[in-house]
């Protein structure tokens, strides 16, 4: 059934807008008139979306995790209140402020209204609804517990959003300090050192080796600045290309896990994602092997993903999940212990949820510790670099002043 968007005035004279399902525009106007709305503008949104789809498929782009979490929770709340799925989707679409997500939900509603299942309609937008999301919805529809599954998905999405926000906040300070340090050094090498170099040349004095090094580096930046920029961009592209390759990604992830402070934090974040995602999938009725397939793609580390793959293969052969994870040596002993207890007691989902909650708390503590350690470390590095350059310039100046005094 077509969807019509309208603008109009209610009985109080206030501007209103929304959408309504109707066979045609006349029926839509009649229905709105009965509801006390005087229509000033109406258009067939279904036709507009179809015309837009011919030019470009509306699957591109992403939405913030917070918006997706809000959508999921609202939809779960409406379904638990006994409101039919199509009506719930209409209500949620009207509440969406994100224009892309609003159009996507409206299209999903149209597909569901035409007989499609919710997970199949969402599967057309893989950049918005992840494989986990779609699989969970499929399991919820199959078991008749879609409202419960969506509520779990909302909690899962909100937890992921909170984790991402914490990590971004933690790396913001080091990034700002690095940018500031780079800018300071660029100003010194490009503007300050060349002026002092001209003074030294006029004095015809022998310079210390470290001053010669600083002047040489400054000359490279001044004379070959374009080549330096190109070299930096080329290096970034090469590193990203190397990291995107299977072998490069594996080596990079190993380096990250072995890096002091950063490695432990990265492992804890990956384990937290593993535990929370697996708990959510199993609680949603997803089979263990399928859940392990999905989980390997969300840990964000190829080394741990390989360990999960190995565990999946052993589970297929009848082994428990804890034993192969322990053999990999990539998971913390407490995680293995709690998983083993969960398997024995039949409460694996609950144990995994407790693991993720515990590690989320530890991640907060680790982030605070790493940030507290990085702040003075970056200040020291900045002081040493800038101080070394200033020292290498000031020493010849002092020598010149002594010679002049003599």
Architecture of domain 65-129: Up-down Bundle (1.20)
Contact 116, 108 (CB under 8 A): no
Q: CATH number of the domain at 156-406, out of 1.20.81.30, 2.30.30.100, 2.170.190.11, 3.30.70.890?
A: 1.20.81.30
Strands 38-44 and 3-9, how do they pair?
antiparallel
- What angle, 0 to 180 degrees and rounded to 10, lies between the N-to-C axes of helices 348-405 and 193-203? 30
pTM for the model stands at: 0.62
Length of the chain: 406
Going from the C-alpha of 153 to that of each of 138, 242, 363, 398, the distances in angstroms are 12, 34, 21, 68
Tokens of 320: 């428990």
Q: What is the pLDDT along the chain (406 residues), one digit of tens a residue?
A: 567 788 887 877 777 888 877 777 778 888 888 888 877 788 776 555 544 444 444 445 678 888 888 888 899 899 988 898 988 998 888 888 888 888 899 899 989 988 889 989 998 888 888 887 888 788 788 778 788 888 888 887 887 777 778 777 777 877 888 888 888 888 888 888 888 888 777 766 778 888 888 888 888 888 888 888 899 899 989 988 888 888 888 898 889 888 887 888 888 888 888 888 888 888 877 788 888 887 887 787 888 888 888 888 888 888 888 888 888 888 889 889 998 999 888 888 889 888 888 887 888 787 777 777 777 888 888 888 888 888 888 888 887 777 655 5
Q: What is the pLDDT of residues 42-69, one digit of tens each?
A: 877 655 554 444 444 444 567 888 888 8
Give the residue extent of every domain in the chain. Answer: 3-55, 65-129, 156-406
DSSP notation for 118-172 = HHHHHTT-TTTS-HHHHHHHHHHHHHT-HHHHHHHHHHHHHHHHHHHHHHHHHHH
């Amino acid at each position: 059934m077509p969807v019509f968007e309208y603008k109009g005035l209610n009985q109080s004279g206030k501007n209103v807008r929304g959408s309504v399902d109707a066979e045609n525009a006349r029926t839509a106007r009649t229905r709105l008139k009965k509801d006390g709305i005087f229509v000033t503008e109406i258009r067939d949104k279904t036709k507009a979306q179809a015309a837009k789809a011919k030019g470009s498929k509306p699957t591109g782009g992403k939405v913030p995790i917070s918006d997706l979490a809000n959508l999921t929770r609202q939809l779960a709340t409406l379904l638990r209140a006994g409101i039919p799925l199509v009506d719930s989707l209409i209500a949620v679409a009207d509440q969406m402020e994100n224009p892309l997500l609003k159009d996507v939900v409206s299209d999903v509603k149209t597909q569901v209204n035409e007989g499609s299942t919710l997970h199949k309609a969402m599967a057309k937008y893989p950049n918005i609804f992840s494989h986990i999301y779609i699989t969970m919805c499929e399991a919820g529809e199959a078991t008749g517990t879609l409202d419960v599954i969506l509520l779990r998905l909302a909690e899962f999405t909100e937890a992921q959003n909170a984790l991402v926000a914490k990590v971004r906040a933690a790396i913001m300070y080091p990034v700002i300090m690095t940018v500031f340090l780079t800018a300071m050094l660029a100003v010194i090498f490009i503007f300050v050192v060349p002026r002092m170099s001209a003074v030294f040349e006029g004095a015809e004095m022998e310079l210390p080796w470290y001053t010669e090094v600083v002047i040489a580096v400054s000359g490279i930046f001044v004379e070959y600045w374009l080549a330096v920029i190109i070299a930096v961009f080329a290096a970034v592209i090469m590193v990203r290309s190397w990291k995107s390759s299977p072998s490069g990604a594996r080596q990079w992830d190993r380096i990250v896990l072995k890096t002091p402070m950063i490695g432990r934090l990265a492992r804890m974040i990956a384990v937290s994602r593993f535990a929370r995602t697996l708990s959510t999938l199993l609680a949603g009725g997803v089979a263990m092997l399928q859940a392990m397939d999905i989980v390997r793609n969300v840990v964000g580390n190829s080394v741990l993903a390989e360990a999960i793959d190995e565990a999946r293969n052993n589970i297929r052969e009848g082994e428990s999940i804890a034993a192969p994870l322990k053999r990999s040596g990539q998971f913390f002993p407490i995680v293995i212990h709690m998983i083993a207890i969960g398997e024995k007691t039949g409460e694996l989902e609950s144990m995994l949820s407790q693991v993720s909650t515990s590690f989320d708390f530890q991640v907060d503590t680790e982030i605070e510790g790493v940030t507290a350690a990085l702040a003075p470390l970056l200040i020291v590095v900045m002081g040493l670099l800038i101080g070394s350059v200033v020292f290498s310039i000031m020493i010849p100046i002092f020598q010149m002043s002594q010679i002049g005094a003599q």
